[in-house]
Amino acid sequence: MSKIDPELKKKLLKESQAPFKGLRRILWIAFSGSALLGLLIMLSKIASGSEVPQSNLFIQLGACILFPTLLFFDKNKNL
């Protein structure tokens, strides 16, 4: 039969079904952090009395919701 260790075979099979999963998760975390930081900066500008376009604020809010959601769904995939 096969000379490959069963654990290694299982790991390779998982990787073939979901390639670059680790890289995707790192990107989702980085994008989430960037969106949160951008939102905090916008909120501090609003608190200081500066005007921030409403469309930019909605884009930041959407990114703060989207990227953690993608991370959550990517983490919970059962392959």
Per-residue pLDDT of the chain (79 residues; tens, 9 = 90+): 568 888 888 888 888 887 888 899 999 999 999 999 999 999 999 999 999 999 999 999 999 999 999 999 887 665 4
- Map residue 28 onto helix, strand or coil: helix
pLDDT value of residue 79: 43
pLDDT value of residue 78: 52
- The reported pTM is 0.75
DSSP codes of every residue in 42-79: HHHHHHHT----HHHHHHHHHHHHHHHHHHHHHHT---
- Listed by start position, the domains of the chain span 32-79
